[in-house]
Each structure stands twice: as C-alpha cells, then as structure tokens.
Amino acid sequence: MATTVTKIIDPDNGSGTDYTSLSAWEAAQQGDLTGVRDEIAVAKCRCTGGTADTTPHTYIDGWTTDSTRYIKIWTDPSESYRHSGKWETGNKYRLEVGTSLADRYYAIVVREQYTKIDGLQIHVHPSGSSYGVNGITMDNGSNYSEVSHCIIRCTDEAGYSYGINGYGDYRKLYNNIVYDFTRTNSCGIALTASTPNTNYCYNCTVHNCAVGYYGIDNATIFKNCLAQNCSNGFESDGGLGTGSDYNCSDIASDAPGSNSQTGNVVFVDEDGDDFHLNSSDTVAKDKGTDLSGDSYLPFSDDIDGQTRSGTWDIGADEVITVGGIPPWMLSRTRAIQHLMVR
Amino acid sequence: MAQILVKAIDATHADPVKDRRGCYKRGMPVVVMPDSHTWGREEGLPTFVIIKIPGVSVEKVRKYIEPQREDVANEDGIYPTYRRRLWKFRFDDMPTAALKKLRDNGELTIKVGDYAGDYDYTWKQVRNYIRNLKTNEDEGGTL
C-alpha cells in the first residue's frame, strides 16, 4: 500500500514549513511515485501570516503516477487555511500570479495524470502583460485528474484567458467557482477531449465571463452547472457532452438539458463576489439533481464542504438552512451567524 | 535584493520528452524571492542551493525562471514549453572553491553594483557560469 508523504507549503514559513512555494515543492518532489517511492505525494498548503504564494508557472510535469500513487495539492479543511466558499485573504492560502513574463503564463499547469487539486484560491492578474493567463490548465497528459472546491478569478486581462482549461480525458471538476474572465474569447471552464463524454463538470458556478462553459465534440458532460452574467453561458463546437442537464443560465435557451433552468439567480452578495446561493433564490435552489450516486463522479458535498441534501441546488453552493429555518426568517444576528457557519 | 532557489540535483524521467520538458536539472533556477524571504526546512541542501544577489530586485532576475519555449507557436498562438528552464547555472564548471562553498553551505552571495556587504563572487565572475540553454551561450548581461 502506498505511503502518503505530506509536505507543508507556507509562504510565511510558519512552524513546520517544508517549502515556501508550491513551485519549490513541485521541483523537489517530482519523480516516479509508482516505483520504489510507492507514494502519494501531498502538498498541504497553509498561509500562517497572510502572504500569498506568488510564484508563476507551477507545472506539474516530469512525474509518474497511477490511480493509487498520485499527486494531491490541497488546503486541509480541518485547518484554518481554506477559503469559506468565497475569495478571502488573511490566513487563507492563495496563489496570486501577476508578474509579467515573456509569454502566456499560468498559475498551475497539470501535465500528469491522477493529480488532485482541492480547495485552492487562484487569482491571475496580468497587469502590464500583453498575454492571456490561465488559472489551472489541465494539459495533455492530465487524464484522470480532478479539480474541486477551488475559487479562480481574474483581473486586468490583456489577452483571452481561462479559469480552467485543457485537453485530455476523464478529468473531473466539481464544486468550483470561476469568475471575471471577461475579455473576448475568455472562458470560465473549457475542456476538450480525445474521447467524447469523458470529462465531467458538475456543480460549478461561473460568473461574469465572456463564455461560461465551453466544450468541443461532446467532450464534457455538464450537470448542475450555473452560469450567470456571462455573454454566453454554455458554448460548444460540436456539442456538449451527452446527458448534460440540470444546468442554469440567465440567457434563454442556453443551458443544456431538458431539466435546465433559465433566470437570474440570487446570490448572498453578488457585487461582493460572494456566490453562495441566497436562500430566497428560486432559480437554482432545489433545481439540480442528486449526483451522490453518479457513476462517473459521485460526491455529496458543496464548495463549503457541507453535505448536500434533499433536492440539490445548481452551482457550487448548497443552501443549508439552520434548523430548517431559512436565514431570511431569522433575526439579523442569527442571519449573520448563519452566514458565518456556511 | 533577490535570492534564487536553484535545483542542486537532477530529476529524471524515462520518457525523454518529459525528462527535458518537465524535469528540473541540477543548476536550474526554480523560484526567485526577495532578500527578506526565509526558506522552508527543505529548501536547501541536498535538493537546492541559494544564490543571493543583494541589491538587485526580484524583477531583474525573474527572467532566470522562464521556461525555454518552442520556437513555433501552436494553433492557439501559444509557444509551448520545450525545456523546464531556459537558464542553468553551470555549477560543475565553477572554480573549486565556489563549488566547495555550495556543497558545504548551500549558498553563494554575489556582489552587484555598489553592494558593500560580504560576498563570495562578483556578478561579472558568476555570469560566465550561467548558460542560456537555447543559445548555448553564457550570460553576458548586467543586472
């Protein structure tokens, strides 16, 4: 049985830090996990002093992995360094990549199969560059990789950019929020594949992007995905994945699937980029489908790590009422407490 | 003032393309940080060494962590990575004393401009051991 080897990444070099950037961890640990190492390589990201990880171009490349000896990059939700479902600074780990280099650049590029990225915040802001930027690129070779519970945003685009994109098969995205990739041809989530219907994008929220979700040749099945304030919510070249359904867009005849919704969703604080569903919403709330038994990508939580129940909501967040009482019926104090426990 | 974290040992991959494109080799810069940065407990020997360049901004040395790109853009107009890094410190060609210091202490301090503190070598001395892997020529520029 593979040994889990966990290293601590903390830009503030707090107690127990092994590496002060994700790039340094990758450079030190890259290798064959399937051979004598027989290892699951884990980067546990922290932010003990409020400093962001600003190193660009963290390529996950030059490794050998398989289904039981894989790479995991995450913030541990049992620690205090993971976001609470919206972009946060303070002691929340985040990759903030903004310094111009000589070409298109990336926060993270995954070129190895069986790479799992969970609970990161990524902000790409290429001020001064003439090139586009990508949050996470799941490049050729990233088959069987996963991205979940991540928040990815962009400012100061100079060229067309992507929140999450790439080419490969059997990639799984769920419970992610992507926003503000606004330039012409920019896109929140764009996946292509060599084999149709082998990428799965479930319960994601994309807001204020030129294109919300993009698929080529039936590459990706979209379920419970929410697009709001995008010029085009769901776009394809050759079709979205077979069985795409229970999605939502604010553009008529946009979201794929006979059970999909059209309308303006009510968020907790849309202007403040808090894309938790407001419990008063009637467009996405209780309009999704239960994916806990999905044959490709079963899961049962939301971006906050809270267990989804009943009829699922569309998007990354599931409205959880307190004792069955929705927040709008609570006192102001209780309503604030509700938001704090989300 | 900048510090460069440099890989001190080779990573390898059986696939020659992945080995070239993905694996850090001995002498390849990995990240650059300001002088005030403190390194983690595994950011040193035997995996890494640190090149300190007091008085030089991070922006001026950031070019050393650029990947080497393909010469031809792909259909998306992107120049894919050809090699993990464009630049490489030729540690093994450095004078014996410099190599010994790297092996013993894991760092070198380089004097640039009017820096008046302790140092091991000047930039003019060291730049002759920083190779551009595309042109196969050593660094001739100033900082």
Q: What is the pLDDT of residue A331?
A: 45
Q: What is the pLDDT of residue A338?
A: 47
CA torsion angle for B103, B107, B110, B114 (degrees, to 10)? -140
Which phi-psi region, left, alpha or beta, contains residue A270 (left: φ > 0; alpha: ψ -120 to 50)? Answer: alpha
B132 bridge partner residues: B87, B137
Q: What is the pLDDT of residue A106?
A: 83
Residues in A touching B69 (Cβ below 8 Å):
102-103
Which phi-psi region, left, alpha or beta, contains residue A26 (left: φ > 0; alpha: ψ -120 to 50)? Answer: alpha
> Is A342 a residue whose pLDDT tops 60?
no
- Token pair 């609970």 is at which residue? A119
A185-194, A238-247, A330-339, B40-49, range with the lowest pLDDT:
A330-339
Residue B11: which of A8, A31, A55 has the nearest Cβ? Answer: A31
> Is A127 a residue whose pLDDT tops 80?
no
Is residue A245 within 8 A of residue A225, CB to CB? The reply is no
A114-128, B1-15, B36-50, B122-136, range with the lowest pLDDT:
A114-128
CA distance A46 to A6: 12
CA distance A279 to A267: 8
Look up residue A224 and give its two tokens.
Answer: 């419970």
Q: What is the pLDDT of residue A328?
A: 40
Pick the residue from chain A with its C-alpha nearest to B20.
A62
Q: Kindly provide the ipTM of the predicted complex, given to two decimals.
A: 0.96
| Residue B128, SS3 per DSSP | helix
Average pLDDT across chain B, whole number:
94
Is the link from the previous residue into A11 a cis peptide, with omega within 30 of 0? Answer: no
> Is A322 a residue whose pLDDT tops 80?
no
Residues 6+ apart with CB under 8 A from A15: A48
Average pLDDT across chain A, whole number:
91
Residues in A touching B19 (Cβ below 8 Å):
62
pLDDT digits (tens, 9 = 90+) for A161-174: 899 998 889 999 99
CA distance A316 to A243: 19
Angle at CA A97, nearest 5°, toward A180 and A126?
60
Q: If you write DSSP's letter for every residue of A213-240 in order, what string do you get? A: EEEETT-EEEES-EEES-SEEEEEES-P
Q: What is the pLDDT of residue A156?
A: 76
CA-nearest of B90, B103, B97, B106 to B51 is: B106
- Token pair 């991540």 is at which residue? A150
Q: Given pLDDT bands bounded at 50, 70 and 90, which one contains residue A341? A: very low
Q: For B13-17, what is the mean pLDDT?
A: 96
Residue B91, φ and ψ in degrees, nearest 5:
-55, -45
Distance from CA of A268 to the nearest CA of B (A): 37
> Is A19 a residue whose pLDDT tops 80?
yes
Distance from CA of B126 to the nearest CA of A (A): 23
Residue B43: which of A24, A32, A63 has the nearest Cβ? Answer: A24
Contact B79/A17, CB-based, under 8 Å?
no
